Structure 1
Amino acid sequence: MGAGLDAHAHSASREMGALVAWGRGVGGWRLALGARLPPWDAGFCTEPGLQSWRGGDREALLLELRAAVVEHRGPLVTLNKPQGLPVTGKPGELTLLSVLPDLSQSLGCPSLQVIRAPGKETSGLVLLSTCPQTASRLQKFFIRSRRAHRPTATYWAVTNGIPDASEGQILAALTLQHIGGVSVVIPVKCPSRRDLLEGVKRTLSHFRVMATGSGCALIQLQPLTLFPSQLQVHMMLQLCPVLGDHTYSARAGTVLGQRFLLSAENTKPQRQALDDALLRRLHLTPAQAAQLPLHLHLHQLLLPGSRPADAPIELRAPLPRYFSRTLQCLGLCQQ
C-alpha cells in the first residue's frame, strides 16, 4: 500500500510540475510549486492572484476574469474561475453570467454563453462559446458521455483524511432537502422506485489517491453523473471531507481517533473543524481555518476533436495559489 501511494505521489508531482510549466504566464498565476510561498494570513481571499473571490465591484471582477482567461481559440473561450464566484444568481447580484456581456466586449468577441462551469465554491475551468451551434454540439457530447459513464471532467481535491482504498468508485443515491432554511444534499439508503421518481438520483464518481501526507490526501475525482455538491458528499461518505468544506464535513464525526458518519438529518452545516496538528501544518489559526476556501478544483476537461477520428482535446486550468500552498504545507507534492 505504501509503495503504491509513493508512486501516486511521484506521478502527482510530475503532473503538477508539468502544470506549473504550462501555467506560467496564465493570468496572475506565476508561482512555481517549488517557490517559497508567502505567509497565509486572514487576507488571503483578497490578495491578487490567489484566485478566491470574496466580493468586489463589477470592474474588479471583469479585470479578474480577463486575467483568468486560459485560452481563446476560435469560438471557444476557457477561463479559470476563482473559488467563491457564483455562476448564476438573483437579479442584481454579481455573478459570472452578469458580467459575460462586458467580458465579451472586453475580449473583442461576440456574445459568450456558458457551456460548462463548476459551482460557486469550486474553482477551475469554465468553458464558454461565441457560437450557439458549437455550444449545442458540446452540450450533447457531455450528455452522451454521462449516459455512457465516460468521464469528461477531472477534479483535484485535498481531503482531511485518507480513503481506505487507493482507487475506486463511490455510488450513492442523493436528494436535495431543505433543513433549517438551507438546501443541502442528503444520502438516501436503498431508494425505492417512488424515491427515484420524486427527485432521488443515483450518483457515481471515480476517485484515485495521488499523494498522502499529514493525514490528508490529494485526490483525483471524476464524476460520472451530475448532481449538486456530488463530489463533496461522496468524499464525506468516505469519511474524508474536502478541505474547506463548511457544509458537509460536520457529518464526519470522530471519537478516540476513529471516524464515523453522523445522521445528515440531525447535523447542521457548520464551519469545518481541524485538529491542532493540521492547523500547525497549515500555519493557520482556528479563525483563519473557518474561512478556508474549498479545495476542489476542476483541473481538466476533455472535448471531442473537430472530426470523429481526431484525438480528444484536453483543457487544463492551473491550481489556485492557496491550493498549491496547501499541497506544500502538507507534503503532498515532491520536487
Structure 2
Amino acid sequence: MVRFRAWNQVRAFCLRCSADREVARVAGFSTKTRHGLQPPESSSKELRPTKDLTFPGSLRMEDLSREELLNVIKAAVVEQEGSLVTINKPQGLPVTGKPGDLTLLTVLPDLSQSLGLRDQELQVVRAPAKDCSGLVLLSSCPQTTSHLHKFFTHSRRVQRPTALYCAVTDGIPAASEGKIQAALKREHINGVELVVPVKPPSRKQVLEGVKNTLSYFRVIATGSGCALVQLQPLTVFLDQLQVHMTLQLCPVLGDHTYSSRVSTVLGQRFLLPAENIKPSKQVMSEALLRCLLLTSSQAAQLPLHLHLQSLFLPGPRPQDAPNEFRAPLPPYFSRTLQCLGLHQ
C-alpha cells in the first residue's frame, strides 16, 4: 500500500503542475501500449561484416554540435504525457558533465521548448550512465520530480526493484539466476578512478565511501559462449552492474574498463587483483570476433552492451498492475543478439 500511496501523491502533484491538466487523464503515464523492445532482425537476413567503426545507436559526442544533439534527442523521445517525458538515450550520451560540456542537461531547455512546455523546463528523474543506453524519465514539474525521487529512494530502502537492465556478457554465468552482493568503493589506481570490491565494510569505512551493493540477475539466453542477462540493481553505485558481472567472470560486452580484470589460463577464468590492472580495450577470442563479424580493431570500439530496458512505477489506483515503461534496444545491440544467436 505504501508504494500506491506514494504514486497517488505524485499523481496529485502532476494534476496541479500540468498547465493543460492533461496529466489527469494519464495519471500513470496512461495505460496505452508502450514501445517494447525491438526484436533482432530476422535471422534469415544475411549479416555482413562491419566495414567501418560506426555502431548505429551509439553517439560520438565529439562529432556533434548542440543543434545536432538536440535533433538526436528529439528523435529519441518515446512518449510525452503532460509533464512527463520518456527518452531512449543513445549509448555515449552523458547526462551531466563539466561546465562547457555538451550533455543531456545542457540541451534540456531547448528540448522543453521544442516539446511545447513553455517555461516548464524538463528535469531528469531517472537516467542510465553515459556508457549505457536506455530509458530516461524526465519531468517538467519540480514537485513531481521530487516525489518520484522519493519513490525510487523508498523502493531501494525496502529492496523493491524499479529498473530492469539487459546486458550481453562475454562468458556465461555459472548459475542461471541469483543475486550478486559486493562492498564497493571508488579508488584511484594508476591515475584512474575505478570502482573496486572490498571486504565487508565497518561503520567507519561506510562513512569513507564504501557501500554494500546488491543486484539480481537472470540468464535469458546463451550462445557462442555469451549470455543475454537481465539485471535488476537494488542499490545505486557508480559502474555497479559492470563490476558485478566482472565478479561473475562474465564482463559485459564492450566493457573497456573492467573486463581486463578477467583472465584465462587453460580455459579457466579467474579474477586479477584490481590494484594491478589498468583499464584497457576488451580482448575477445578469435571465435567471438568471428561470430560478431568484427576485426580486433573494430571490437576495441564496441559500445557497452548494457541497456536500461524498463522502469516500473505503480498504477494510479491500488488495484492496478504496475506500469512498465520500455525502451527499444539500440541497433548495434540487436545486431549482436542476431550474430550470437541470442533469442529472447
Query: What's the TM-score, normalizing by structure 1?
Result: 0.88
Shift of 1:193: 2.8
Counterpart-to-counterpart distance in 2, 1:325 and 1:174: 33
CA distance in 2, matches of 1:52, 1:303: 27
Paired residues of 1:41 and 1:288 also in contact (CA < 8 A): no
1:24-69 deviation per Cα after TM superposition (whole angstroms, max 9, x unaligned): 9xxxx8x863273564232423xxxx22111211111111101100
Give SS of 2:156's match: helix
* Equivalent in 179, 190, 193 of residue 203 of structure 2: 193
Alpha-carbon offset, residue 178 of structure 1: 1.2
**Cα distance change, pair 268–43 in 1 and its aligned pair in 2 (3 A):** closer
The equivalent position to 2:94 in structure 1, one of 77, 80, 86, is 86
Structure 2: distance between partners of 1:212 and 1:69: 31
Give the distance between the partners of 1:305 and 1:134, measured in 2 at CA.
15
CA distance in 1, matches of 2:307, 2:338: 16
Does residue 120 of the first structure (1) align with residue 126 of the second (2)?
no
Is 2:124–2:139's contact at 8 Å kept on the other side of the alignment? yes
What SS does structure 2 have at the residue aligned with 1:325? helix
Q: Is the 8 A contact 2:161 2:233 kept in 1?
A: yes
2:58 to 31, 49, 52: 52
Do 1:115 and 1:135's aligned partners in 2 also have CA atoms closer than 8 Å?
A: yes
Partners of 1:23 and 1:225 in 2: how far apart? 25
Match of residue 83, structure 2, among 75, 90, 97? 75
Q: 2:336 & 2:284 partners in 1: Cα distance?
A: 14
Q: Which whole-Å CA distance do the structure 2 matches of 1:63 and 1:22 have between them? A: 20
2:106 maps to amino acid: S
Shift of 1:196: 1.7
2:279 to 257, 261, 269: 269
Displacement of 1:192: 2.6
Q: What does residue range 118-267 of structure 1 map to in structure 2 within 5 Å?
A: 118-267=128-277
**Alpha carbons of 1:170 and 1:32: their partners in 2 closer, same or farther (altered >3 Å)?**
closer
The residue aligned with 2:295 is 285
One-letter amino acid of the counterpart of residue 41, structure 1: K
CA RMSD after TM alignment? 1.7
* CA shift in 2, pair 1:196/1:23, >3 Å: closer
Letter in 1 for 2:280: Q
**Structure 1 equivalent of residue 26 of structure 2:** none
2:22 aligned residue = none
- The residue that corresponds to 1:61 in the other structure is 69
Q: How far is the alpha carbon of 1:311 from its aligned partner? A: 2.6
Partners of 1:304 and 1:132 in 2: CA distance: 19
* Sequence identity (%): 68
Q: CA separation of 1:235/1:32 partners in 2, compared to 1, >3 Å: closer, same or farther?
A: closer
Change (3 A) 1:95 1:38: farther
CA distance in 1 between counterparts of 2:281 and 2:333 reads 19
Answer yes or no: is 1:300 the counterpart of 2:310: yes
Distance 2:158 2:36 in 1: 32
Contact 1:177/1:185 (8 A) holds in 2: yes
* Residues 42-98 of structure 1, C-alpha deviations (whole Å, 9 max, x = no match): 2423xxxx2211121111111110110001011110000000010000111110000
Q: Secondary structure at the match of 1:127?
A: strand
Task: For 1:305, give the aligned amino acid.
Answer: G
Secondary structure at the counterpart of residue 83 of structure 1: coil
More displaced stretch, 193-202 vs 167-176: 193-202
Larger Rg belongs to: 2
The answer on whether the counterparts of 1:141 and 1:304 sit within 8 Å (CA) in structure 2 is no
> Aligned with 1:234: secondary structure?
helix
Structure 2, unmatched stretches of 5+, are 1-33
Runs (4+) off by over 3 Å? 21-24, 35-39, 307-310
Q: 1:278-317: CA deviations, max 9, x gaps?
A: 0000000000000000000000000122344433211000
What residue ranges of structure 1 are gaps of 5+ in the alignment?
1-20
Whole-angstrom distance in 2 between the partners of 1:297 and 1:263:
28
Q: Which amino acid aligns with 2:242?
A: Q
Provide the C-alpha distance between the structure 2 equivalents of 1:210 and 1:58, rounded to a whole number of angstroms: 38
Query: For structure 1, which segment, 105-114 or 143-152, has the greater mean C-alpha deviation from structure 2 after superposition?
Result: 105-114
